[in-house]
Amino acid sequence: MLGRVQSSKIVDSGRGRFSRRHFFALAGAAVAALAFASGVKPAAAESVLAMHIEEQTSWVQNFNPFDLGGRRQSTMDFVYEPLVIFNDYDSGKPIFRLATAYKFSDDLKSITYTLRDGVKWSDGQPLTSADMKYTLELMLKNPAVDIVGVGESVASVEAPSPTEVKINLKDVDTHFPESLADFPVVPEHIWKDIKDPLAFKNEKPVGSGPMTEIRHITPQV
């Protein structure tokens, strides 16, 4: 898949698989490319970064994070930021993204995430604990969209403050944070009106990541 960075926005127009380690490498390249471009182009001009991501010959414009078989690979990370990822090359060290911290209770039967304050969805609405609570409960109520297996571990969810989410577990599970590495927080104000969250193509996604506007999508490089 090709992604083009245009005025801090990525245009999805290409094909294949993409890992988080590749994402960070490309992100570094993007910063370098944009810095270089800013020195040689007028301020009003757009800088473009082309990235080869997906090895596919055909696809549909699908940015539904719950549709594992049909979504574009750039849906995760680019459209929907993860809470936290873990660096396999640094003893599993957590790298916080939407979340800034998590903490288990003394009995290890619940875990509380602290979300980054001041984050907004691409339509300008605030991203809060209500969105994360909604997404978790959507998965609990609809196993078809439970792509990370929260139904196996989560008993209930609370949102004690706009930046805190308490997840009550069915049993002790010290590896639970790792299970949420691919968990996409979706905006409640958009998804609450979607009748079939698995079939929804989400062609014009409202997300938390750097891909905030889909200007065009084409089936080849």
The pLDDT value given to residue 49: 57
When pLDDT is averaged across residues 142-155 and rounded to a whole number, the result is 96
Q: What average pLDDT does this structure show over 214-218?
A: 64
Residue with the bigger pLDDT between 203 and 14: it is 203
Region 175-192: mean pLDDT is: 95
What own/partner pairs with CB < 8 Å and gap ≥ 24 does 157-161 have? Answer: 157/133, 158/133, 159/128, 159/129, 159/130, 159/132, 159/133, 160/129, 161/129
Model pTM?
0.74
Q: Which domains does the chain have, with CATH numbers?
A: 1-80+196-221 (no CATH), 92-185 (3.90.76.10)
Question: In whole angstroms, what is the distance from residue 73 CA to residue 43 CA?
Answer: 32
18 pLDDT band (50/70/90 cuts)? Answer: very low
Evaluate if residue 161 carries a pLDDT over 90. yes
- What share of residues in the chain are helix, strand, coil (percent, to 5)? 25, 25, 50
Over residues 86-130, the pLDDT tens digits come to: 999 999 999 999 999 999 999 999 999 999 999 999 999 999 999
More confident residue, 83 or 20: 83
DSSP state of 132: H
Return d(Cα 80, Cα 191) in angstroms, integer. Answer: 14
Question: Using an 8 Å Cβ cutoff, are 205 and 194 in contact?
Answer: no
Residue 38 has pLDDT above 70, yes or no: no
Q: What is the pLDDT of residue 36?
A: 47
Q: To which H or E segment does residue 3 belong?
A: strand 2-6
Per cent of the chain over pLDDT 90 is 57
Rounded Cα distance, 146 and 150, in Å: 7
Name residues whose C-beta falls within 8 Å of residue 23's C-beta, 6 or more positions apart in sequence.
Answer: 77, 78
Cβ atoms within 10 Å of 147's Cβ, excluding its own: 17
**Residues paired with 84 in a beta bridge:** 96
E strands, 91-200, are: 93-96, 99-104, 110-115, 154-161, 164-169
Highest mean pLDDT among 8-22, 35-49, 187-201: 187-201
How far lies 91's CA from each of 86, 88, 95, 113, 145, in Å?
Answer: 8, 6, 12, 21, 30
